[in-house]
Amino acid sequence: MKLPGWRVEYTITLLIVFTAVLLFIPTSLQSTVQANLITKWKDCYNKLTYVQDVILKQEKQEILTSFRRAKTAEEREELFREILKPYFRLYTTKATRRYHTKFMNGDRVGKDSIYYFTDYYFTDKKMIVGIKDIPNTNKTESLFLMTFDVNGILPPNTWGKDIFGAKIYADRIESLGEDLSLQQLKEDCSENGSGVACSHYYNIGGSFED
């Protein structure tokens, strides 16, 4: 028995709408998740900037003197971690060794990369924070490199998606990519780039949908 013409048309319309919904929901959900991760990164960066302001106003000279007296990178990292601890509530326990990171283009972050960290720490909100001392003799160079995996051990553990970072100087904070042009930011913050520059690109209003 054949269905009346209007029922056939109605059924086809429902199938088209249902298919469209199935195609749209994953994209919409992914966009919402990514937007939340970016918001978490911006919150981290704002908090980091606040810590820097407190240090500059109250304890800059004392802290810099302590860094200069430290004999090893481990000692400097420990000093810096203690400064951050009350603001980010860092646990002294390091993150699991099974934690590995990758760039947005899919390449794994190798040990020869400046973005390879050995010292990661959990926060009370389950984020993973990486801290790396950067030895230098020039006062204009950064002191530390930091990363924030804003959803912790959960995937994708990828730069520009859930991992972002900043350079710490004696007198300022810079999100990674701040030294790049807008075009360079867009190119790096893409599926063909490393994703590192997304840290700054999102801070200036860039969108992962661009």
Contact 193, 186 (CB under 8 A): no
- Using DSSP, how many helices (H) and how many strands (E) does the chain show? 5, 6
| Residue 92, pLDDT score | 63
Work out the number of other CB atoms within 10 angstroms of the CB of residue 38.
22
Consecutive H or E run containing 144: strand 144-149
Average pLDDT over residues 53-57: 72
| Residue 60, pLDDT score | 61
* Domain boundaries of the chain, sorted by first residue: 39-203
Of 122, 202, 191, nearest in space to 164 by CA: 202
Higher pLDDT, 176 or 133: 176
Contact 110, 116 (CB under 8 A): yes
Backbone dihedral angles phi then psi of residue 117, each to the nearest 5 degrees? -115, 145
| Residue 4, pLDDT score | 56
| Residue 207, pLDDT score | 74
Is the pLDDT at 125 greater than 50? The verdict is yes
Which of 15-29, 43-57, 189-203 is the least confident region? 15-29
Helix (H, G, I), strand (E, B) or coil at 48: helix
pLDDT by residue (tens digit) across 166-190? 998 878 899 999 999 999 999 999 9
Using CA atoms, how far apart are residues 84 and 41, in angstroms rounded to an integer? Answer: 16
